[in-house]
Amino acid sequence: MKGMKLPENLPVIEDVSPLLERARVMEEDIEGVRIVGAFLEEANLSALTFKGCVLEGCRLIGCDMHKVSFLRCELRGCDFSNSHMSDAFLQRCEVRSGKWLGTDLDQSSLKEVLFQGCNLQYINCDGSSWKDVQMQECNLQRAYLSQCRLQKTQWTHCDLRLANLFQTSLKGMDLSTCELEGFLVSDTFAELAGAKISAPQALDVVRLLGLEVV
């Protein structure tokens, strides 16, 4: 995203445990480092703040990341599957080629965030707030996106099949390049009011209404 370029010469951290422990004990932010290849499982990272960091090839599986913050960070090829990131805050971040299977991001806040080429199947973003979020070529099959507040959100070639969008307004958003088959909305389809969809997608909506196209 614009203005997101981080320095290439950030200090490289491979053994991340001492850094995380110090941040917890001293109540310090983790700032200006490149964390490479870290593997943590069911670790406590709750309420930690990462500023101006690069996380590359990290696997944080099933971790407690409640109220974690990522500010002006790049997350490259990282796996956050099944981690609990409710009430998280992401601002001015780029998330590329990530794996967030079943990650819990409910009630989170995302501002100026790019997700590109990510596997976000079964991700839970219920009740979250997004502003200036770009979703590019992401797999959001069976994602939970109900009761979200989306502002200036862009969708490009995303897979939203069987995603739950109940009570999430898509007004003003262009979904014409996305896959929407079997997505879940309310009986009135109010969520789609003012959204832009393609002709084939319109046929999917008609089928959801129980009508037969001849």
What's the pLDDT tens digit per position in 134-184? 999 999 999 999 999 999 999 999 999 999 999 999 999 999 999 998 889
Residues with Cβ within 8 Å of residue 159, at least 6 apart in sequence: 138, 139, 140, 141, 178, 179
Note whether 145 and 120 are within 8 A (CB).
no
Q: How would CATH label the architecture of 12-208?
A: 3 Solenoid (2.160)
pLDDT at 210: 60
Within 10 angstroms of residue 123's Cβ, the number of other Cβ atoms is: 28
Residue 76 pLDDT exceeds 80? yes
pLDDT at 208: 65
Helices marked H in the chain: 17-26, 199-208
pTM: 0.92
Tally of CA atoms within 13 A in the half-sphere of 12 that contains its CB: 7
Q: Rounded mean pLDDT of 63-77?
A: 97
Please give the backbone phi and psi of residue 29, each rounded to the nearest 5 degrees, phi first: -80, 150
By CB atoms closer than 10 A (0-12, 13-18, 19+), residue 200 is exposed
In angstroms, the CA 102 to CA 125 distance is 10
pLDDT at 8: 83
pLDDT at 3: 53
pLDDT at 71: 98
Better-scored residue on pLDDT, 4 or 43:
43
Within 10 angstroms of residue 168's Cβ, the number of other Cβ atoms is: 22
In angstroms, the CA 4 to CA 73 distance is 8
Q: Rounded mean pLDDT of 35-61?
A: 97
Confidence class for position 194, pLDDT limits 50, 70, 90: very high
In angstroms, the CA 36 to CA 52 distance is 14
Residue 56 pLDDT exceeds 80? yes
**25-34, 152-161, 167-176, 205-214: segment of lowest average pLDDT:** 205-214
- What one-character DSSP code corresponds to residue 204? H
pLDDT at 201: 81
pLDDT at 211: 52
Within 10 angstroms of residue 193's Cβ, the number of other Cβ atoms is: 11
Residues with Cβ within 8 Å of residue 68, at least 6 apart in sequence: 45, 46, 47, 48, 49, 50, 85, 88, 89
Note whether 134 and 152 are within 8 A (CB).
no
